[in-house]
Amino acid sequence: MKGRPKVTRIQLDDHTDDEFVIFGLVSTEADYKLSQLLNKKLKITLRNVNTIDLKEVGRMKLSFSRYSDTSSSPEITFNLISNRSDKDYLLKKLKKIDYFFRINSFANRFNIEQLTSTLREIDRITAVFRLDPLEIKDKNLVYLTL
């Protein structure tokens, strides 16, 4: 009987060690000043990198500042992304948030509760929110998860 060829099933593990946390920060400080405050408090080295540029139909180009640190530890990267460009927002549904602070941990090397309280100690940050990317419904969310 010439049946079907034998099918071998391979189960792939889709679990990755790349875990990230996104915080929403409320602050009236300019992006460069906030990055300096975070650098000092967290002992990291956020530096200005390429901006996030968006061109929406019928509108002018929007640029959102981005600061990144990959030098502090090979397992952890930090990103500070502005939510405002002139009078528009990267994530329009989160208009009250001024900045997003994203942390990638490849080895789960940080304590979220301790980090949250450390961020709240910075006097120029009015509020700190931990954001769940699965609950945010916005087309521009992809720019926070890159």
DSSP bridge partners of 103: 21, 78
pTM of the model: 0.81
Looking at residue 123, its pLDDT comes to: 94
Q: Output the six-digit token pair for 10.
A: 């391979």
pLDDT by 10s per residue, the chain, length 146 = 566 766 655 544 443 445 788 999 999 999 999 999 999 999 999 999 988 888 765 667 889 999 999 776 767 889 999 999 888 899 988 999 999 999 987 656 668 889 899 999 999 999 999 998 878 887 777 777 76
Question: Could you tell me which CATH class the domain 19-143 is placed in?
Answer: alpha beta
Looking at residue 68, its pLDDT comes to: 94
Looking at residue 19, its pLDDT comes to: 78
Query: 49: exposed, middle or buried (C-beta count within 10 Å: 0-12, 13-18, 19+)?
Result: middle
Looking at residue 26, its pLDDT comes to: 97
- Whether the CB-CB separation of 30 and 116 falls below 8 Å is answered with no
Q: At what angle do helices 31-42 and 112-120 cross, to 10 degrees?
A: 120
Q: Is 139 helix (H, G, I), strand (E, B) or coil?
A: helix
